[in-house]
Amino acid sequence: MSDQNDPIQDLVRKRADLKAEVDRRTQDLTQLGKQVEALSLVMGLFQPSLPETLIFPQYRKETARLVFAALREAGRPMTAPELANRVLVAKRIPPEDYATVTVVKKRIQGSLAHHRRKGVLRCQKNAIGLNEWTFA
């Protein structure tokens, strides 16, 4: 069979093209995030009375604060999806906004792992095999 008619090679090339596109877009998003942070700093210079959350969105601290608040309010161990739902409601993010929902869920996972390493949170598997998070 010649290389031109091999469907596997075509799929491999297509996958490589898509992966390269994902990498390019990830770099673009990183660059956009840096531009947003730079604009936030300039906004703070010109109008210091703007709300601090608008000028300096501290994503990690905000995510951790909302996760901790959800755990305190629940008074019981919670799974990451439960915590994500609470955070999304608190941030007023519509479930249809898939891109933002995905980012928030990833931030929550990162925050949970970070605070477990720091000894603030702990997790254990529940009856169906999901990690349930609570304060250490």
Are residues 80 and 128 both part of a single domain?
Answer: yes
pLDDT tens for each residue of 88-134: 888 888 888 787 788 888 888 888 998 999 999 999 998 998 899 99
Q: How confident is the model over 6-27, as a mean pLDDT?
A: 91
Are residues 78 and 128 both part of a single domain?
Answer: yes
- Rounded Cα gap, residues 79 and 63, in angstroms: 15
Are residues 38 and 74 both part of a single domain?
Answer: no
User: How many folded domains does the chain comprise?
Assistant: 2
pLDDT tens for each residue of 64-94: 888 999 999 999 999 998 999 898 888 888 8
90-to-16, 69, 73, 84 alpha-carbon distances in Å: 39, 10, 12, 10
- Rounded Cα gap, residues 81 and 130, in angstroms: 10
CB burial string 103-113: b at 16+ within 10 A, e below: ebbebbeebbe
pLDDT bucket at 43, cuts 50 / 70 / 90: confident
Q: What is the pTM of this model?
A: 0.55
Are residues 77 and 113 both part of a single domain?
Answer: yes
Are residues 114 and 68 both part of a single domain?
Answer: yes
Are residues 70 and 122 both part of a single domain?
Answer: yes
Are residues 62 and 126 both part of a single domain?
Answer: yes
Range of the domain at 29: 3-50
